[in-house]
Structure 1
Amino acid sequence: MIEEGKIAPDFTLPDSTGKMVSLSEFKGRKVLLIFYPGDDTPVCTAQLCDYRNNVAAFTSRGITVIGISGDSPESHKQFAEKHKLPFLLLSDQERTVAKAYDALGFLGMAQRAYVLIDEQGLVLLSYSDFLPVTYQPMKDLLARIDAS
């Protein structure tokens, strides 16, 4: 994973509507990038729904949540609508952002990982799950955010 304390690499990716979104648009705000392997898979669905269920915990801390996987914008749109996900899902079909953040798994898909970026663009936290079938419990993630 990208080292904490480094400048987060800027990127531009399409969202679920095809609109291009750049990380630099969020300068001045904290951003939590959530890398995940794929839409509508059992563990990813549980993970993203957990973020959905706790989105108020992020917004109350001034954090914008953004999900990133290699799925297409169309797949993201269906996934977000089906599960009522209230945050951006960005399509990294070439895996360039996953590579830039060292979040590319051994199967060529994004690892299950997160990166918290501060208002100036510095990486505050980075974490990757060793096993692709689990993800860090929300209480542990929030505790790490509060301690940063």
Structure 2
Amino acid sequence: MGLKVGDKIPFFTAKDSRGDDFDSHFLIGHKPVVIYFYPKDDTPGCTTQACGFRDQYQDFKEVGAEVIGISSDGLESHQRFSSKYKLPFLLLSDENKKIRNLFGVPSRIFGLLPGRVTYVADKNGVIQMVFNGIFAAKHIPKALEVVKQLIS
């Protein structure tokens, strides 16, 4: 069973798309955060989703939120994907699926395809929204709506 509204985001570490070590202690519990899990770099749906977050990234930043994308792709794949589409937010590499399992992100299509789930947590690290949907473009407006509600 995965994380749900009201749960606290668990702490985790990973390599980010710049090759740096990411420690969630420095972000979770300090500001609102949008963490989205996606299946694979540079595929049509995942590119749509990443570019959607890119195009509205300033809207998230203006309300004090940070966006983080996570997939099981490796560092080099994330660097190419981030550079190709000029993604201003971090992509985290979860090659061993440890973070995906920590969050309880379900797989799709008989367990063959990693799921697409977006979590929005408030500045205390408490999950305010979980959106599990295959339509990549729908994640961005839903996440932004919840983040804006957190500051009003």
Please confirm whether the aligned pair reaches a TM-score higher than 0.5, indicating the same fold.
yes
Unaligned runs of 5+ in 2: none
- Counterpart residue number, 2:40: 38
- Counterpart residue number, 2:17: 16
Note the C-alpha offset of 1:14. 0.4
Note the C-alpha offset of 1:108. 5.2
1:63 aligns with 2:65: yes
| Preserved CA contact (<8 Å) 1:69 1:90 | yes
Unaligned runs of 5+ in 1: none
Distance 1:124 1:67, change over 3 A: same
Moved more, 108-117 or 90-99: 108-117
Q: Distance in 1 between matches of 2:51 and 2:120?
A: 19
1:6 aligns with 2:7: yes
The total of aligned residue pairs comes to 146
Counterpart among 114, 122, 125 of residue 118 in structure 1: 122
Matched residue SS, 2:77: helix
Distance 1:65 1:75, change over 3 A: same
- Counterpart residue number, 1:128: 132
Q: Distance in 2 between matches of 1:18 and 1:108?
A: 28
Distance 1:13 1:52, change over 3 A: same
TM-score (normalised: structure 2) = 0.87
